[in-house]
Amino acid sequence: MNKRVYGVLGIVSRMSNWNADFTGYPKTTSSGDVFGSDKAFKYPLKKMWEQQGEKVLYIKSLRLSENKKGETELIPRSLKERYEFLFDTKDLKEEIDNGKILKNLFCCIDVKNYGATFTPSNSDKNISITGAVQVGQGFNKYDGSQAEEQQILSPFRDDKKKEINSGAKKEEDQEEAKASTLGTKIVSNEAHYFYPFTINPAAYDEFKVLGVTDGYTEEDYKKFKKASLVAATSFSTNAKIGCENEFALFVETERDLYLPDLSQYVGFEKGEEKNTIILKCDELLNELQDKINNIEIYYNPYTTQLEEKIEGAKKFNIFTQKEV
pLDDT at 69: 84
How confident is the model at residue 175, as a pLDDT? 57
pLDDT in tens, 187-196: 999 999 999 9
How far, in Å, CA of 121 to CA of 101, rounded? 11
Instruction: Write down the pLDDT at residue 237.
Output: 66
What is the predicted pLDDT for the residue at 94? Answer: 83
- 3-class DSSP state of 244: strand
- pTM beyond 0.85: yes
Q: Which residue, among 23, 16, 32, 22, has the nearest Cα to 148 in the 3D structure?
A: 16
For residue 28, the one-letter residue type is T
CA-CA distances (angstroms) from residue 289 to 56, 197, 202, 218, 312?
A: 37, 20, 22, 22, 9
Q: Are 268 and 277 in contact (CB under 8 A)?
A: yes
CA angle 224–229–232, rounded 5-degree value:
105
How far from the centroid of its chain's Cα atoms is residue 15's Cα? Answer: 19
Query: Which stretches of the chain score pLDDT less than 50?
Result: 164, 166
Q: Residue 98: its pLDDT value, please?
A: 86
Contact (Cβ atoms closer than 8 angstroms) between residue 85 and residue 61:
yes
How far is 156 from 177, CA to CA, in rounded Å? 11
Q: Residue 175 class from Cβ within 10 Å (0-12 exposed, 13-18 middle, 19+ buried)?
A: exposed
| CA 257 – CA 273 distance, rounded (Å) | 39
Q: What is the DSSP letter of 27?
A: P
pLDDT score at 92: 87
For the chain, which residues make up each domain, given as ranges?
A: 4-144+186-317, 156-185
Return the exposure string of 211-244: e unless at least 16 CB atoms fall within 10 Å of the residue's CB, then b.
ebbebbeeebbebbbebbbbbbbebeeebbebbb
pLDDT at 95: 81
pLDDT at 228: 97
Q: Which amino acid is at 302?
A: Y
pLDDT of res. 239: 56
Asked if 258 contacts 202 with a C-beta cutoff of 8 angstroms, the reply is no
Which residue, 303, 176, 324, 198, is CA-closest to 249?
A: 198
Of 89, 253, 47, the C-alpha closest to 103 is 89
